[in-house]
Amino acid sequence: MPLHDISYKHWHGLRLGVWRRRAAIAKNGLSACLQVRWMMNLVVLCWGLGLAAAAILFLVGQLLVDDSAVSQWVATFVNPLASSLAKNLTSWLKDHPEISVSSAQNVLFYYLGLWLMRVSIFALGPIIPLLITRDLACNAIVIYSSKAVTRGDYLLGKFATVFGFLALTWLGPVCASWILGNLLAPDWSFFWHARVALENILIYGLISMAVLSVLALGVSASSANAKSTTALWFTWWILGAVIEPIALHTSPWLRHLGFGFDINQIALHCFRVGENLTVAQKEIPFLDHIRPDTIAALNSPQLTGTVLALTVMIAAAVWIILQRVKPE
Amino acid sequence: MSAQPVIETQALSKVFGNQKALDAVSVAVAPGAIGLLGPNGAGKTTFIKCLLQLQPITSGSAKLLGREVGAEGREIRKRVGYTPELDCHIPGMAGCEYVTYCAQLCGLPFQAARQRAHEMLDYVGMGQERYRKIDTYSTGMKQRLKLAQAIVHDPEIVFLDEPANGLDPKGQAQILELVQNLWRAYGITVVLSSHMLADVEQICEQIIIIARGRVLVHDSLANLKARRRGSAEVVVAGRHEDLQAACARRQWPCELLPSGHLKVAHGSPSLNPLLSLLDEIHLAPLEIIPSPNALEEAFIQALEISHAAP
Amino acid sequence: MNPVIQARDLSRWYGMVMGLNNVSFDIAPGLTGLVGANGAGKSTLLQIITGQLQPSAGTLTVFGEIPWNNPALLRRIGFCPEQDAVPRDLRPLDWLAGLAQLSGLDAAEIPARCEAMLDTVKLPREHWSKTMGQFSKGMKQRVKLAQGMLHRPDLLVLDEPMNGLDPMGRQEISGILTGLAANGASILISSHILAELESLCRNILILNWGRILASGSQKEIRGDLKNWSEELSIQCDDPEKLARHLFDAGVLLGFDLDLAAGLLCIRVKDASSFYPAWTGLLLASGVTVQGIRSQSRSLQNIFEKVTA
């Protein structure tokens, strides 16, 4: 027909289920997070760090191979005495894969995870207002509530937003680093020996990402002012970091008030880096210079206090969220 | 054939502390264009919020589109649209992204959502502004956007709370025309909550008046007007006294209004007797409005009754 | 009579953005309505009148003086702004009392005056003890009006005074304003609700894109419009018959039939000769008339024709 009808049309197509709607909220949130200035740069930095860790793994792996280019380079350019010492060390390491591969990767990924977690927490600062704060300021909750989603769906979607963001800045780079590093290793057995490290990464990662997500949502819901919530996040983090060394000698329990400290304790408990270093110290003379109190600290995660503190913080965050995020 | 009611409530009550916002409201509303009127604080907004589950119901039950509101709230809202009175939008997005997102939240797949979003933005008359961030929009554009997001998922019923608020006269006329077409052309039930009685008269066929948490009037506009038939507002250019005298002679109550118009209760179903009176005294009417302010009078009368009741 | 407000070649620019562009007008005493689309320059004009802004060029005088930096003149002007500008943590009487003191009213009569104002705007007594953050939109509007009228100004400037009020509230406020005007105050109302202005104000000022399109009484403006033709719509049982009858009588310039709604819309050749014969024509046609409405008289129509 010559004239086309462009008036209002009814929709008779399918309507998707509730999980797709939750996914829509998460996706929307995540793309908003990535549009923040410098955020893509930070994400690239995280992946870069992961790549660097994989490179280190590759180099360490190459050291264990006799005729590899790396060991030849070491032999040529480093002091010949050190070179022969290294050769002895190398052969010893080949006989003890639980130290050379398992422990080494465990320690490496502990420190990689630690640093990436710091970058992630820093990156969360500008993200916090985009979660719930902005919605509170613009009364968006009313719009969400009038659509086919409940408050629970909304919060689930927002949780997935933060969790997904942390997966981009932490879990993704660390796991990719593990895979790449072991892929580039001289032997397939590296995957098997390094499984402990992967287990620890996943347990620590998933728990701490979940905890951080809830805390971030709680801070986000605490005010309708974007600057306040970002400031609260950074203040809490930095204050915790500042109190930690001071409170060690006065009231150690105070350290648990900073979520950074508690997340670290979880890492310590998962990775058991102290044990690795103690065992290694016995065998490798080079490692004597590590101070005993460092080893002692690494060996004693304050788990009870951590669990208690995090439970209280999570409960408080959930309470704040439920109070502030109301449909009307 | 009577259609199934779109809104059904049984003894619906909502209590805030010790204040009864809704007091055992029982209504059954057929599909159509419904005007929801009432003084401020009467419970209009609370009524809508209870139906949409923005507020929990204290007691009683409510059904929207034939389903229990408390049990199936989320699924009902797939077919319900709402434009709140206050300024609200989801921040940080362009207009078209926002409407697309709203469609997705009601279950439309992304491709269809995007397509319908643009169609709805065409319908509400938004041009290139749709690509700008919402934070830069003027009041008129925000109101159009609210309407677009309310109908993008093809709802069966739309709740509009003061949709023309803050708009200039041209904008008001445009929004009202869009709303009018929703029911008349496309069969979408419209519940219009507004203080502008003229707008409600133009658009709605059913009227519900709520005061002090109770439904005082639930009737069709035609019936309300019919009750007031027999009176007319006459606009003449000068010589009011002549008309008043002539009315007095025929014993027709005649009242001079502040606007300079005369309200005559001529008591007959058509204006012809009044016209012959005017012809007698050689006075030409500029306008004769039948059943003037029928809605306003029904409103005031209902309020008086509610104030008189304990 | 001396105009209350006089503007001569008034302009106000915000950098490149135009607020008002070379406007000149006189506002007579009494009730005047200010009409214009959003962005037309109404807020700018009101801010200049109430002394909050200085013009970029030209002059604006109120009662013969310039409002800027003129506390003596500002004491004669009351302003009720559009925004939600009431402090959330104060009670209405406290706020009014503070403002009254700022206006220099006698301390002894302040409490009585404030209570009288709240009674005049019909704010129910039970709300007087609550803080204004708890008020509904309508209640806040009434308090704002009270503060504008508090010092019995000679000129009251109102920006969207009926916003948020239900129909009864609007009637009450209209009554108050009419009463004030009758007592000699001049009132300038800026509003989008043309129906209200039409019945309230005799004089109208129409702004569009920072320029004045019309100023004067509704009748004068209507009379001045070119291509003005009387347009009427008649509701009857047989519009076609009526149309034929009127056409044969030779009074029509054009007409439109809406048979479904029973409406006949006509445009008349010559209003002055049409009206004297109007009732005779209607009765002679033999149709039953249900209503006669003017399509061209209302402020809405004037506004549309002026801004077209």
ipTM value: 0.86
Chain-wide mean pLDDT for chain C?
Answer: 88
Average pLDDT over residues A152-172: 95
Whether the Cβ atoms of residue C31 and residue C211 lie closer than 8 Å to each other: no
**Is C193 within 8 Å of B296 when comparing Cβ atoms?**
no
Give the tens place of pLDDT for each residue, A185-237. 877 878 888 888 899 999 999 999 999 999 999 999 999 999 999 999 999 99
- Decide if B87 touches A, using CB distance below 8 A: yes
**Is B288 within 8 Å of C38 when comparing Cβ atoms?**
no
Whether the Cβ atoms of residue C291 and residue B271 lie closer than 8 Å to each other: yes
Q: Largest Cα–Cα distance in chain B?
A: 72
A253: helix, strand or coil: helix
**pLDDT for the residue numbered B1:** 41
Q: Which of B195, B263, B293 to mutate to test the interface with C (most CBs of C within 10 A)?
A: B195
Residue of C nearest to B232 (CA): C291
Give the tens place of pLDDT for each residue, C92-142. 999 999 888 888 888 888 989 999 999 988 888 888 888 888 888 888 888
Q: Hey, what are A86's tokens?
A: 């290294």
Percentage of chain C beyond pLDDT 70 is 99
**Is B74 within 8 Å of A139 when comparing Cβ atoms?**
no
Collect all residues of chain B within an 8 Å Cβ-Cβ radius of residue A138.
87-91
Residue of A nearest to B49 (CA): A328
Whether the Cβ atoms of residue C166 and residue B39 lie closer than 8 Å to each other: yes
Collect all residues of chain A within an 8 Å Cβ-Cβ radius of residue B116.
11
Cα C77 from Cα C154, distance rounded (Å)? 6
- Decide if B296 touches A, using CB distance below 8 A: no
B107: left (phi over 0), alpha (psi -120 to 50) or beta: left
**Is B86 within 8 Å of A139 when comparing Cβ atoms?**
yes
Chain-wide mean pLDDT for chain A?
Answer: 86
Residue of B nearest to A29 (CA): B92
**pLDDT for the residue numbered C193:** 87
Report the range of poorest mean pLDDT among A44-53, C47-56, C87-96, C226-235: C226-235
Collect all residues of chain A within an 8 Å Cβ-Cβ radius of residue B110.
24
Whether the Cβ atoms of residue A34 and residue A43 lie closer than 8 Å to each other: yes
- Decide if B29 touches A, using CB distance below 8 A: no
Instruction: Render the burial of A109-121: b for 16+ CB within 10 Å, e for the rest.
Output: bbebbbebbebbb
Min CA distance, B11 vs chain A (Å)? 22
Whether the Cβ atoms of residue B217 and residue B224 lie closer than 8 Å to each other: yes
C81: helix, strand or coil: coil
- In three-state form (DSSP H/G/I as H, E/B as E, the rest C), the secondary structure along chain B is CCCCCCEEEEEEEEEECCEEEEEEECCEECCCEEEEECCCCCCHHHHHHHHCCCCCCCEEEEEECCEEHHHHHHHHHHHEEEECCCCCCCCCCEHHHHHHHHHHHCCCCHHHHHHHHHHHHHHCCCCHHHHCEHHHCCHHHHHHHHHHHHHCCCCCEEEEECCCCCCCHHHHHHHHHHHHHHHHCCCCEEEEECCCHHHHHHHCCEEEEEECCEEEEEEEHHHHHHHCCCEEEEEECCCHHHHHHHHHHCCCCEEECCCCCEEEECCCCCCHHHHHHHHHCCCCEEEEEECCCHHHHHHHHHHHHHHHCC
**pLDDT for the residue numbered A89:** 67
Percentage of chain A beyond pLDDT 90 is 50
**Is B40 within 8 Å of C37 when comparing Cβ atoms?**
no
Percentage of chain A beyond pLDDT 70 is 84
**pLDDT for the residue numbered B104:** 94
Min CA distance, B115 vs chain C (Å)? 31
- Decide if A322 touches B, using CB distance below 8 A: no
Q: In sequence order, which residues have a C-beta less than 8 Å from that of residue A16 and are 6 or more positions away? A: B107, B108, B109
**Is A138 within 8 Å of B91 when comparing Cβ atoms?**
yes
What end-to-end distance do the CA atoms of chain C give, in Å? 32
**Is C289 within 8 Å of B275 when comparing Cβ atoms?**
yes
Q: Which of A127, A131, A147 to mutate to test the interface with B (most CBs of B within 10 A)?
A: A147
Q: Which residue has the higher pLDDT, A91 or C22?
A: C22
User: Quick check: do C and A touch, 3+ CB pairs under 8 A?
Assistant: no
Interface partners of chain A (CB pairs < 8 Å, 3 or more) are B
Nearest to A115 by CA among A185, A173, A196: A173
**Given a cut of 90, is residue A87 above it in pLDDT?**
no
Q: Which of C180, C292, C294, C303 to mutate to test the interface with B (most CBs of B within 10 A)?
A: C292
Collect all residues of chain C within an 8 Å Cβ-Cβ radius of residue B170.
37, 304, 307
Min CA distance, B113 vs chain A (Å)? 10
**pLDDT for the residue numbered A81:** 64
Average pLDDT over residues C188-196: 90
Q: Give the nearest partner residue to A328 out of B54, B89, B101, using CB atoms.
A: B54
Residue of B nearest to A25 (CA): B105
Q: Which residue has the higher pLDDT, A72 or A195?
A: A195
**pLDDT for the residue numbered B290:** 83
Nearest to C176 by CA among C162, C190, C195: C162
B vs C: CB pairs below 8 A = 110
Cα C170 from Cα A266, distance rounded (Å)? 65
Cα C82 from Cα B84, distance rounded (Å)? 20
**Is B91 within 8 Å of A25 when comparing Cβ atoms?**
no
Average pLDDT over residues A291-302: 70
Q: Give the nearest partner residue to A148 out of B75, B92, B186, using CB atoms.
A: B75
Identity of the highest mean pLDDT range in A61-75, B24-38, C103-117, C268-282: B24-38
Interface partners of chain C (CB pairs < 8 Å, 3 or more) are B
Q: Give the nearest partner residue to C192 out of B168, B237, B284, using CB atoms.
A: B168
Nearest to A173 by CA among A212, A205, A207: A205
**Is A328 within 8 Å of B55 when comparing Cβ atoms?**
yes
**Is B88 within 8 Å of A25 when comparing Cβ atoms?**
no
**Is A13 within 8 Å of B112 when comparing Cβ atoms?**
yes
Q: Which residue has the higher pLDDT, B129 or A66?
A: B129
A vs B: CB pairs below 8 A = 113
Report the range of poorest mean pLDDT among A70-84, A158-172, B225-239, C205-219: A70-84
**pLDDT for the residue numbered B161:** 92
Q: In sequence order, which residues have a C-beta less than 8 Å from that of residue B271 and are 6 or more positions away? A: B232, B288, B290, C289, C290, C291, C292
**pLDDT for the residue numbered A194:** 84
DSSP state of C105: -
Collect all residues of chain A within an 8 Å Cβ-Cβ radius of residue B74.
18, 148-150, 153
Binding-face residues of B in 214-233 toward A, CB within 8 A: none
Cα B221 from Cα B208, distance rounded (Å)? 10
**Is B195 within 8 Å of C166 when comparing Cβ atoms?**
yes
From first to last of its 310 residues, chain B has per-residue pLDDT tens of 457 899 999 999 999 888 888 988 999 999 999 999 988 777 888 999 999 988 888 999 999 999 999 888 888 999 999 999 888 888 889 999 999 999 999 999 999 999 999 999 999 989 899 999 998 898 889 999 999 999 999 999 999 999 988 888 888 989 999 999 999 999 999 999 998 888 898 899 999 999 888 888 899 988 888 777 778 888 887 778 888 888 888 888 888 876 678 888 888 888 888 888 888 888 888 888 887 778 888 888 877 877 776 5
Residue of A nearest to B103 (CA): A147
**pLDDT for the residue numbered A26:** 95
Give the tens place of pLDDT for each residue, C130-186. 888 888 888 888 899 999 999 889 999 999 998 888 888 888 889 899 989 999 899
Q: What is the dihedral angle through the alpha carbons of A222, A224, A228, A233, rounded to the nearest 10 degrees?
A: 40
Cα A241 from Cα A235, distance rounded (Å)? 10
